[in-house]
Structure 1
């Protein structure tokens, strides 16, 4: 009666006090020994708040003391040295090599190749110093990801806690990395198919030439994927492994106080400085986004370090019925004290369970709380308080009959996952994709070559740089395209009075026919003879004849022009393929790039079929002999290639007369001329009016043995 309620007596509130109350079958001596052998959760070995994050000791630990990172380091060293010794690979992996060349082995080893040879460095567009610095940066970044994610997969506990828990978290990280690697490589190849071959023939707005050519070397996409996975998981400032503010010695102005995620974003973006890796790294971001859903699901189920918090309200404490215990029956839980909270569960060596209760002298409703983790197989004794009065956060516990009572709720709820993805992960992925796209535009930007540079850099002593031979013959129903096509050419030529123009006397057009009765030819000649620019730059050549034979037509045109005109390039054009808007300048850019980067090229191909084949003059004359052989073989009744296919194969180096051209073909990314004669072909065929139009993917774009500019 004389005892007063400490919660109501007096005007001053009673300070909150805590005590650990043992409940179970152990003696006080055993419980005292247990409390003496426990310790608080150790800090992470490489905490983001640590001022030694970038020390040499930490970097060495990241690279050589973590299992998966150590494997990646060893594979990178071995494969890079192998590429120097046996010269494999001698070029970057890309979808063009896998889709057309079947080089799947090159794709599999590409993450572990550091370009060290001149051929690889040129293909990767890097210097030796840049390649080595990026390799070291990426390996350190990978080590940081392994250290962070394995800790989270252990439920936020230190690596020093338990060996089996370490192995389990390492296994989870290894499996996540393997899934990411497989999905990234598959998505990268799929992107090359979709955005090059699938849409390139009909949807120019969705066509991206570099989707099949972009260099794929290094582990950058896997780092971007792990970055997204880590972004979903708890932040550094909520990490239980981080030192409390009262004990940390790092000042808030230190660079090491940056959140780990920012440091790792910067390390990932180092990869986009020397070259464009939009498709390679972008595949990693997309894969990482979807892998995060899998990680979220596992943690939502209480696995992979995800904790499940269960809450029930009681007003009694458990009392054990000694009689029932002696007969082996389960004791009945009779809860009496409503001011009791379970904060830790210890598992003793003899199989008994000890409940450590934290009592608080307050008047609020107190619930029974317990966190469990399906992956928690660590030693629970290491997580118990070292003193009877210490209050610690509950450690992750093995699953028990108390894990899923009625009324439990998940710590990582569905609403939390949705908010995390929608409010943090998705904006980060979109932002990084925007940065990658912007840098892709910056790296791929190529200014137009000037007329002065073009004139002075390509055999300036040769009278003509470029001679375009427009082939024309009568079409069915008298349809003619000469005027429209020739006008598109002349639009890019200098005017008759611009004699100071660098290309004024170095480019010309020859309209050629071998048909005597060709009214459209005569009409066009009369029309353009009244235009000063046309009189200056256009020549009209007619060989008498009446046979409509395209092969003979080409042979006579190439030999007549090739033997009488001293020109660097001789281009074969058809009269129903006018230049697209900007197509002329792009053709000049392609010719210039061919001279700068492909020393032994035989010409450039900028359109399709028999138009846009711009040969070096000597190669064009060799191609005329290929056509002549085919004509003789046809007379013998043999099956031969169509004339335009024969010319294309010559430029590809697939004929003995043109063998020096093999591997040296230069093409434009898209068609630089559009097709007008879809229903008036001289061969009698017809096409859809939407086929072979401006901006379409060049038919040879993506072939690994061609050079695309």
Structure 2
């Protein structure tokens, strides 16, 4: 019973400023939307005595003060005094006696309280629910095909209709229905709060429709600018999520209304309980604060930073436009021919919205009696007030959104043991084919590239303790295992024009597949030229290096033919003819080193996510041109054949088009390519290209550049 009694005594009311006419019951926008039983209005503002006012049917007499001389003033002093009186709005100048100062403070702080009631639902909220249910039902029945909208779908596929209808789309799951109902509740609160402020339901509807169109348009512009535009020109300003981030129903537009709520930033919600007791308890919170925390619930689902920021930016601009175009609620018919006006007509005031410090002034006329007229606030003061209040909302909202974004953008690198255990149907995980040819000036690019990869891999990876053999078994195997042989004593062998340092045969140590990820990595340096000084230098260096002996094999075919297409095709075929199969055949050019340890960990992440989320993918692309292509074996075999069929197309483009599924022979690879957000390999051979048809700038295709395919909706970024 006490609990029921508590709830029966709880009331939620709105505290609204009454200094303007936006909340006045005489205003048409409020006449039909407010109920007499739900409003608790403060007493009306006392008016000065009529007897102190000059009559309208008598000539104007000079105004005087009992303690001041009535000698007329002239010149600058008189002008400055009149300006001061007009600016300060001193009532003795008009009434002969000054009202109490309580009049001003009371007029400035006048408030009204009315019971908050969202039933029946506000008009726009009601139709939003009906439209959303209709669109979502048609989509669930597959009569229409809609999904959440992102700039990549609009910029590449021109899905305008999907963009306009996606705010009203939700799935019929418990989670989505609850989130949709929550956003509809927020929309109802905004409509109930802002309808009277902006001048009625129709004007609020026009504002909402304008916000929807503006947010959708600006979102596409931001997605283009911070992805395709800055991805190459200013990589530091490249943000991949700007073009990929999906919308979240009504949330972006509600963030716009949050900034517009700053028009009446002092309005509050008041929770009143224990009304039957002598003491009334209250809990007060600003509307903006409550609405902000309600909107942050959308971030518990996913990160919507770019859509939210677009909404805030649009709302900020809308506040300025709304304040600049807000009509003055004045009756201009009262101004001319006021000879027959009553004293009550002199109190007809007209003020812009949310300006609480305006007074009604009357200036004496030399030809007729003093007339009352509304003193208008300068436009720059109105706009400056709007900028200040809107900036205050942005100042408190943006840091919260950035904190959520930091949480969602945390990097989580996959454990190497997890990746190793995910792909177990091949002996090798990667077979990296590094293709090299003589270059102008004989630069040391091949050595630099090989060293960049070896720096990421350990010499002797440590195995888990649970997988180590017993001491007796280890001593028995050590005498016969190549692992016991000193790396410096391992000879370099020549067999069928293939130079390589023999890899340790891990099968002699373990009867199961290799337990270390790095036991499943190999690099094959492949060339068609016998006169290749850099190849000879690199081979001499790394055959004496323990890591080079562990990971690198050397293959040299001496036909000396400058045929890049044939070079790539034979390299792919050589990788596929290895005795032990590989899960991926990676194509690299000798002038594309990796971008450090973090880039290698990202490659591991992408490979893991591709196998867990898209097990039927055709490959992974983390570089550009013909470098950074991780091909599935069946795709590598098909690409080696297509290179000689599409001779009018550059070799690297043939492989890329096959991975994209745009060649007839590769239709099964459509939408089955996984790429990285940025380039994980950088180009150091910009001025020594082996192709005379291509030239590059020094700063092109560097680390952290936008991947050329980033933004294409036909590729996946995991």
Scaled by the length of structure 2, the TM-score of the pair is 0.71
- Aligned partner of 2:239 in structure 1 is 208
Name the CA distance, whole Å, in 2 between partners of 1:308 and 1:244. 38
> Structure 1's 332 and 578: CA in aligned 2 closer, same or farther, altered over 3 A?
same
Q: CA deviation at 1:20?
A: 8.3
Q: For the structure 1 residues 645 and 605, does the alpha-carbon distance in structure 2 shift closer, same or farther, using more than 3 Å as the test? A: same
Residue 649, structure 1, aligned to residue 657, structure 2: yes
Shift of 1:514: 1.6
Q: Deviations over 1:98-118 (max 9, x none)?
A: 1111111110101110133xx
Q: 1:196 to 1:330 in 2, by over 3 A?
A: closer
Task: Determine helix, strand or coil for the equivalent of 1:208.
Answer: coil
User: What is the deviation of 1:251?
Assistant: 7.8
Aligned to 2:288: 261
1:698 matches 2:704: no
Residue 618 (str. 1) matches residue 634 (str. 2) = yes
Which of residues 193, 208, 211 is equivalent to 1:177?
A: 208
2:684 alignment partner, one of 670, 676, 686: 676
Q: Secondary structure at the match of 1:701?
A: coil
Partner of 2:421: 456
What are the residue-to-residue correspondences of 1:541-580 with 2, within 5 Å? Answer: 541-564=555-578, 565-580=580-595
Contact 1:49 1:259 in 2 (8 A): no
Do the aligned residues in 2 keep the contact of 1:511 with 1:539 (CA within 8 Å)? yes
Any residues of structure 2 matched to 1:56-71 within 5 Å, and which?
A: 58-62=117-121, 66-71=122-127
Q: Which residue of 1 aligns with 2:500?
A: none
**For the Cα contact (< 8 Å) 1:605–1:667, is it kept in 2?**
yes
Shift of 1:145: 1.1
Among 517, 526, 529, the residue aligned to 1:512: 526
The aligned residue for residue 277 of structure 1 is: 304
1:584 to 586, 591, 600: 600
1:304-360 residue CA offsets vs partner (Å, 9 max, x unmatched): xxx799xx9xxxxxxxxxxxxxxxx95647xxxxxxxxxxxxxxxxxxx65438xxx
Q: CA RMSD in A?
A: 3.6
SS at 1:61 equivalent: coil
Note the C-alpha offset of 1:540: 0.6
Gap change, CA 1:49 and 1:407, over 3 Å in 2: closer
Counterpart of 1:74 in structure 2 is 130
Indicate whether 1:132 and 2:177 are aligned.
yes
Deviation at 1:414? 4.1
- Report the equivalent of 1:151: 196
Deviates more, 1:563-572 or 1:192-201: 563-572
In 1, distance between residues paired with 2:338 and 2:566? 104
- 8 Å CA contact 2:265, 2:288 repeated in 1: no
Q: Report the CA distance shift for 1:196/1:356 in structure 2 as closer, same or farther (over 3 A).
A: same
Shift of 1:529: 1.0
Go from structure 1 to structure 2 and tell me whether the alpha carbon gap of 1:545 and 1:264 turns closer, same or farther (over 3 Å shift). Answer: same
> CA shift at 1:497, angstroms?
6.6
CA distance in 2, matches of 1:243, 1:481: 72
Matched with 1:485 is 449
Q: How does 1:460-539 map to 2 (within 5 A)?
A: 460-496=424-460, 498=462, 502-539=516-553
Partner SS for 2:631: strand
Name whichever of 498-507 and 106-115 sits farther off. 498-507
Query: Paired residues, what number?
Result: 552
SS in 1 for 2:643: helix
Determine the C-alpha separation between the residues in 2 that align with 1:197 and 1:215: 17
Shift of 1:250: 12
Residue 580 (structure 1) shift:
0.5
SS in 2 for 1:505: helix
CA shift in 2, pair 1:288/1:138, >3 Å: same
Comparing 84-93 and 445-454, the one that deviates more:
84-93
In structure 2, relative to structure 1, the CA distance for the partners of 1:49 and 1:509 (3 Å cut) is farther
Q: Is the 8 A contact 1:114 1:217 kept in 2?
A: no
Q: Any unmatched runs of 5+ in structure 1?
A: 1-15, 26-46, 117-127, 155-168, 313-328, 334-352, 358-367, 376-392, 396-401, 635-639
Distance 2:183 2:603 in 1: 39
Alignment partner, residue 371 of structure 1:
349
Task: Determine whether 1:102 maps to 2:158.
Answer: yes
- Cα deviation, 1:515-549, whole Å, max 9, x if unaligned, reads 22222111110011111011001111112211111
**What SS does the aligned partner of 1:629 have?**
coil
Higher relative contact order (CA 8 A, sep 6+): 1
1:272/1:330 CA distance change after superposition, 3 Å = closer
The 1-side partners of 2:534 and 2:528 are apart by 13
* CA separation of 1:252 and 1:521: change in aligned 2, threshold 3 A: farther
Residues 1:432 and 1:374: Cα distance change in structure 2 (over 3 Å) = closer
Kindly indicate whether residue 187 of structure 2 is the aligned counterpart of residue 142 of structure 1. Answer: yes
Q: Secondary structure, in 3 states, of the residue corresponding to 1:470?
A: strand
1:505–1:559 CA distance, 2 compared to 1 (3 A): same
Alpha carbons of structure 1 residues 278 and 656: separation in structure 2 relative to 1, 3 Å = same
Q: Does the CA-based 8 Å contact 2:446-2:534 persist in structure 1?
A: yes
Q: Residues 212, 61 of structure 1: CA spacing in aligned structure 2 closer, same or farther, 3 A cutoff?
A: same
Q: Give the corresponding residue for 1:195.
A: 226
1:141 offset after TM fit, Å?
1.1
The answer to whether the aligner puts 1:425 opposite 2:390 as a matched pair is: yes
Partner residue, 2:256: 225
**TM-score, scaled to structure 1:** 0.72
Contact 2:152 2:244 in 1 (8 A): yes
- C-alpha spacing 1:474/1:538, structure 2 compared with 1 (3 Å): same
Query: Equivalent of 2:344, from 353, 356, 362?
Result: 356
Distance 1:251 1:663, change over 3 A: farther
Q: 1:264 to 1:445 in 2, by over 3 A?
A: same
Q: Distance in 1 between matches of 2:654 and 2:197?
A: 63
Distance 1:427 1:19, change over 3 A: closer
2:328 to 302, 312, 320: 302
Task: Tell me what 2:406 maps to.
Answer: 441
The answer (yes or no) to whether the contact 1:308–1:410 under 8 Å persists in 2 is no
Superposed displacement of residue 147, structure 1 = 1.4
